[in-house]
């Protein structure tokens, strides 16, 4: 894995476009995150794989990261139980958190490879949060 592809977490979330990661190059963003209660000492975040799954926005260890590690795989799509309930979509905070993109991201990584996925993950994220839903045709930017 390259430095960039290593930023794609085992669950399919791209830490390379997470605000906590991006705050390394953006002092205004860092101030904003601190004002929202993110402790200064966890900023900037280096990304899930580089911090052994100790994502600062979750309590304790990440169960998904630990599960992938135990199975000796790189991504959840490689698992015979994929997609398990840890990846199930949830409406809870779906407008501000990326959890509902995990399965789509993982399937895209399986189909296209992680390098290609990393090139288009910003667009996937933008379409998720800002796209207008066309039923039967998916969200459109
Ligand atoms: S580990 Fe968590 S906080 Fe850090 S970059 Fe990844 S998603 Fe963001
Ligand atoms: S059971 Fe498989 S799909 Fe579910 S979190 Fe573990 S590795 Fe990922």
Q: Convert the pLDDT of each residue in 17-41 to its tens digit.
A: 999 999 999 999 999 999 999 999 9
- Tell me the pLDDT band of 141, cut-offs 50, 70 and 90: confident
Output the average pLDDT for the chain.
96
The ligand 2 atom at the shortest distance from the C-alpha of residue 85 is: 4
CA of 141 to the centre of ligand 1 (A): 25
Nearest CA to ligand 2 atom 8: 76
pTM for the predicted model, two decimal places: 0.95
**76 in ligand 2 pocket by Cβ < 6 Å?**
yes
Is the pLDDT confidence value at 115 over 90? yes
Residue 59 pLDDT = 87
Gap between the Cα atoms of 39 and 108, Å rounded: 33
Contacting residues for 93 by C-beta, under 8 A, at least 6 apart: none
Per-residue b or e along 4-36, where b marks 16 or more CB atoms closer than 10 Å to that residue's CB:
ebbbbbbbbbbbbbbbbbbbeeeeebbeebeee
Structure confidence at residue 85 (pLDDT):
98
**Which residue among 26, 55, 102 is best mutated to probe the pocket of ligand 1, counting the most ligand atoms within 8 A of its Cβ?**
55
Closest residue CA from atom 5 of ligand 2: 64
Mean pLDDT of 91-109: 97
Would you say residue 1 has pLDDT above 90? no
Any ligand 2 atom below 6 A from CB of 63: no
Which ligand is in closest contact with the Cα of 54? 1
Provide the 3-class DSSP secondary structure of residue 132: strand
Which residue from 30, 108, 129, 55 is spatially nearest to 64, judged by alpha carbons? Answer: 55
Beta-bridge mates of residue 42: none
Query: By percentage, how much of the chain surpasses pLDDT 70?
Result: 100
């Amino acid at each position: 894995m390259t430095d960039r592809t290593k930023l794609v977490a085992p669950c399919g979330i791209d830490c390379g476009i997470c605000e906590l990661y991006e705050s390394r190059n953006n002092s205004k963003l860092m101030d904003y995150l601190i004002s929202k209660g993110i402790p200064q000492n966890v900023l900037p975040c280096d990304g899930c794989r580089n911090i052994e799954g100790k994502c600062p926005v979750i309590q304790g260890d990440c169960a998904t990261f630990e599960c992938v590690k135990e199975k000796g795989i790189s991504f959840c799509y490689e698992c015979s139980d994929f997609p398990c309930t840890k990846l199930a979509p949830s409406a809870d905070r779906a407008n501000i958190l990326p959890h509902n993109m995990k399965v789509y991201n993982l399937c895209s990584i399986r189909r296209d490879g992680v390098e290609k996925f990393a090139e288009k993950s910003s667009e996937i994220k933008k379409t998720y949060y800002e796209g207008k839903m066309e039923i039967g045709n998916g969200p459109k930017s």
